[in-house]
Amino acid sequence: METVVVLILVLSAYLIGSIPTAVWIGKAFYGIDVREFGSGNAGATNTFRVLGQKAGIPVLIIDILKGTAAVALSYLSELQPDSIPFINLQLGLGIAALMGHIFPIFAGFRGGKGVATILGIVVCITPISCSLSLIIFLIVLISTRYVSLSSMCAGLSYPFILNLILHNHNKTLVLFSIAVAILLVITHRKNIIRLLKKQESKVALFARIKK
């Protein structure tokens, strides 16, 4: 595949990831920049915290779809689906979208932590391991009500599930899964400090949506 085509697809993936859903919804419907409140991140969790479920749910869904849409761009290439070059392209597009979410060009390069976008990426590329990691996320979330801790546990479990339990042999996927785990820990370093100090906010599960 021509290099120029790859560059166009990667740039497109980055721009999709750069859509600052939390910022735009917050400003358009609430007159608030969510980055100025709560954790200061432009992600779904902080949107739930600052603006509630009516804003948080669409932000979560759109941020997941950003990762999915970026990976789906791979089907515009001439590569054979499920081939190693095709999977590598999907990973590249997913990473581009993730970088766009964390460093969005449309919002001054101040974005979110990328948890929802990562979910949208990995569910397309490695659906089984993603589903098992999501189960871990839900178990930890229901047990602790800490979204940050749940995200990190799911992220750290992902490479073990993919490579040790499901016996993945794609070296690029191995590196990607490890990078995902490390990235989630790095982007949650402030949350780790708050967790250690017992200052991290908990989410109210099963709360009714405010009208």
**141-196 per-position pLDDT tens digit:** 999 999 999 999 999 999 999 999 999 999 999 999 999 999 999 989 989 999 99
Instruction: Report the percent of the chain where pLDDT is more than 70.
Output: 96
In this prediction, residue 209 carries a pLDDT of: 47
Q: Looking at residue 50, what is its pLDDT? A: 92
Residue 1: the pLDDT is 60
Using the predicted structure, report yes or no on whether residue 108 has a pLDDT greater than 90: yes
Place of tokens 């735009």: 24
Name the one residue in this structure whose structure tokens are 């697809």: 9
Residue 203 has pLDDT above 90, yes or no: no
Across 55-84, average pLDDT = 94
- Residue 93's contacts (CB-CB under 8 Å, 6 or more residues apart) are 9, 10, 13, 70, 71, 73, 74
The whole-number pLDDT of residue 39 equals: 84
Region 11-39: mean pLDDT is: 96
How close are the terminal C-alpha atoms of the chain, in Å? 51
pLDDT of residue 204: 73
Distance CA 188, CA 37 (A): 17
Tally Cβ neighbours within 10 Å of residue 24: 16
Q: What is the structure's pLDDT at 206?
A: 60
pLDDT band at 211 (very low <50, low <70, confident <90, very high): very low
Amino acid occupying residue 69:
A
Confidence of residue 3 (pLDDT cuts 50, 70, 90): confident
Segment 197-201 shows an average pLDDT of 90
Q: What are the tokens at 112? A: 């979110």
pLDDT band at 210 (very low <50, low <70, confident <90, very high): very low
Write down the mean pLDDT value for the chain: 92
Whether the CB-CB separation of 17 and 96 falls below 8 Å is answered with yes
CA dihedral 182, 187, 192, 193 (to 10 degrees): 130
Predicted local confidence at residue 49, as pLDDT: 87
Domain residue ranges of the chain, discontinuous segments joined by +: 3-196
